[in-house]
């Protein structure tokens, strides 16, 4: 089978990914990129200016099914090209200092692929499915009976692999959890008026500062602290220790419950009674929990972020100014804004 004609799709995806990543992260240190196939089906690989795509990516879903290759790939075929292209930034333009920092290379590339799904393919369903798959990789037990999220911190890296926990545990940890860390930072920085502007400024500054250099986890943390919004300053010290201790250096996983009711006020506007509960964490765990409402027409609207510490709840009434028709429900974490239990 000749892949010359089939390579057009990969090239088109690569070109669009480069444009998107250049917008979000700034230019990479390379001016050319070539994409080609390699014969193994179970991995892609990125070299400076050269991306290897697994040959089975070129097969359609029918052919892969006939070959018995539609195993639980967790969306692998959908994002392998944008993931590998992202390594031109994460791993090649910005290196990682040691195995303790490799989570940024793989995790950031996975998160970049999610940007491709939502901003290039403009497919909300694929975007949500992507994050569901990432969470499942972290939370399901492997053949040895271990969940990746419990095996250790992101900075443990490939040292988490061993005969007791399984040799797939790091792959299940640093790719999806590293992606979630960057995704959560993006969602915390997102603004109703300015969109992703603050996140873009952060990532462009990070790339510009560390182009051709090896960055550490603490280098990235310092960059986030440089650009963080006032809302992210949960400890009042202009530091992101709380977040990095929870998700980069820690293994905690919160659960969230939400209940809501809607009434109509004297002015005709809807008033929401909202209760959000955080559980499954220690007393020091804190988080900005995004709250959304599903309107009567099915549209999802972002309301704001609730500050919750430890195993506790917030319970309040919120006037929804200008809204005359009762929404269907309140929702937290609709876009997988926070890595949490799927309960």
Q: DSSP letters of 166-227?
A: BTTHHHHHHHHHHHHHHHHHHHHH-BTTTBTHHHHHHHHHHHHHHTTEEE-HHHHHHHHHHH
**Do both 152 and 271 map to the same domain?**
no
Q: ∠119-123-124 over CA atoms, to 5°?
A: 100
Residue bearing the bigger pLDDT, 213 or 75:
213
**Do both 165 and 219 map to the same domain?**
yes
Residue pair 304/293 in contact (Cβ under 8 Å)? The answer is no
**Domain annotation covers residue 36:** yes
HSE-up (13 A, CA, CB side) for residue 164: 3
158-167: pLDDT as tens digits: 999 999 999 9
**Domain annotation covers residue 214:** yes
**Do both 187 and 291 map to the same domain?**
no
pLDDT attached to residue 209 = 98
Question: Does residue 251 surpass a pLDDT of 70?
Answer: yes
What sign for the dihedral angle of Cα 263, 266, 271, 275?
A: negative
Q: Number of folded domains in the chain?
A: 2
322 confidence band (pLDDT: 50, 70, 90): very high
- Calculate what percentage of the chain has a pLDDT beyond 70: 96
| Residue in 133, 81, 135 with CA at minimum distance from that of residue 109 | 81
**Do both 147 and 90 map to the same domain?**
yes
**Do both 69 and 151 map to the same domain?**
yes
215-227: pLDDT as tens digits: 999 999 999 999 9
**Domain annotation covers residue 206:** yes
> What residues make up the domain containing 69?
7-227
**Domain annotation covers residue 143:** yes
Tell me the CA end-to-end span of the chain in Å, nearest whole number.
46
CATH number at residue 17: 1.10.390.10
Question: Which three-class secondary structure state does DSSP give residue 3?
Answer: coil
**Do both 134 and 13 map to the same domain?**
yes
117 confidence band (pLDDT: 50, 70, 90): very high
**Do both 106 and 192 map to the same domain?**
yes
22-63: pLDDT as tens digits: 999 999 999 999 998 888 887 889 999 999 998 888 877 777
169-178: pLDDT as tens digits: 999 999 999 9
**Do both 265 and 218 map to the same domain?**
no
Domain termination site, one of 182, 209, 227: 227
Cα pseudo-dihedral 33, 38, 43, 47, rounded to 10: -30
**Do both 218 and 279 map to the same domain?**
no
Question: Does residue 71 surpass a pLDDT of 60?
Answer: no
CATH number at residue 267: 2.60.40
**Do both 84 and 177 map to the same domain?**
yes
> In whole numbers, what is the pLDDT of the chain averaged over residues?
93
CB environment 326-342: b (16+ within 10 A), e (fewer): bbeebbbbbbbbbbbee
Residue bearing the bigger pLDDT, 9 or 285:
285
For the record, the structure tokens of 257 come out as: 């419950």
**Do both 55 and 194 map to the same domain?**
yes
pLDDT attached to residue 70 = 62
CA distances for 180 relative to 59, 106, 248, angstroms: 29, 11, 10
Q: Indicate the range of 21-25, 119-123, 236-240, 339-343 predicted with least confidence.
A: 339-343
Question: Does residue 168 surpass a pLDDT of 80?
Answer: yes
- Within the chain, residue ranges assigned H as helices are 7-25, 61-66, 76-86, 102-119, 124-139, 148-151, 169-189, 197-210, 217-227, 241-247
Cα pseudo-dihedral 140, 142, 148, 152, rounded to 10: 140
**Domain annotation covers residue 239:** no
Question: What's the pTM value of the predicted model, to 2 decimals?
Answer: 0.94
| Residue in 190, 337, 339 with CA at minimum distance from that of residue 250 | 339
Q: Order the strands of the 50-54 sheet from edge to edge.
A: 34-38, 50-54, 45-47
- Cβ atoms < 10 Å from Cβ of 187: 19
**Domain annotation covers residue 316:** yes
Q: Indicate the range of 122-126, 181-185, 323-327 predicted with least confidence.
A: 122-126
pLDDT attached to residue 196 = 98
- For strand 50-54 and strand 34-38, is the pairing parallel, antiparallel, or unpaired? parallel
**Do both 272 and 125 map to the same domain?**
no
pLDDT attached to residue 3 = 67
pLDDT attached to residue 269 = 96
HSE-up (13 A, CA, CB side) for residue 314: 18
Mean pLDDT for the stretch of residues 1-25? 88
78 confidence band (pLDDT: 50, 70, 90): confident
Q: Hey, which residues does 319 pair with through a beta bridge?
A: 271
């Amino acid at each position: 089978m000749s892949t010359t004609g089939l390579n057009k799709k990969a090239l088109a995806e690569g070109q669009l990914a480069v444009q998107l990543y250049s917008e979000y992260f700034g230019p990479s240190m390379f001016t050319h990129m070539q994409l080609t196939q390699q014969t193994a089906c179970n991995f892609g690989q990125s070299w400076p200016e050269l991306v290897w795509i697994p040959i089975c990516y070129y097969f359609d879903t029918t052919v892969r099914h006939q070959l018995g290759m539609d195993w639980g790939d967790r969306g692998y075929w959908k994002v392998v090209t944008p993931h590998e292209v992202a390594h031109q930034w994460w791993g090649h333009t910005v290196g990682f200092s040691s195995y303790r920092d490799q989570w940024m290379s793989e995790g950031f590339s996975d998160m970049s692929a999610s940007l491709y799904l939502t901003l290039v393919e403009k497919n909300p369903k694929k975007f949500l499915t992507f994050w569901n798959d990432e969470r499942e990789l972290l939370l399901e037990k492997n053949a040895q009976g271990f969940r990746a999220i419990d095996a250790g911190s992101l900075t443990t890296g490939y040292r988490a692999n061993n005969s007791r926990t399984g040799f797939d545990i790091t792959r299940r940890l640093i790719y999806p959890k590293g992606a979630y860390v960057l995704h959560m930072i993006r969602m915390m920085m997102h603004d109703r008026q300015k969109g992703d502007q603050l996140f873009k400024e952060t990532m462009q500054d990070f790339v510009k500062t560390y182009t051709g250099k090896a960055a550490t986890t603490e280098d990235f943390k310092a960059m986030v602290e440089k650009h963080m919004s006032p809302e992210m300053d949960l400890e009042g010290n202009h530091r992101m220790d709380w977040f990095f201790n929870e998700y980069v250096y820690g293994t905690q996983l919160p659960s969230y419950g939400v209940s809501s009711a809607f009434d109509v006020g004297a002015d005709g506007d809807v008033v929401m009674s909202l209760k959000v509960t955080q559980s499954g964490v220690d007393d020091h765990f804190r988080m900005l929990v995004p709250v959304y409402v599903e309107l009567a027409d099915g549209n999802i609207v972002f309301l704001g972020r609730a500050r919750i510490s430890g195993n506790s709840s917030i319970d309040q009434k919120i006037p929804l100014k200008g809204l005359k028709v009762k929404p269907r429900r309140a929702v937290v974490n609709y876009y997988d804004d926070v890595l949490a239990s799927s309960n």
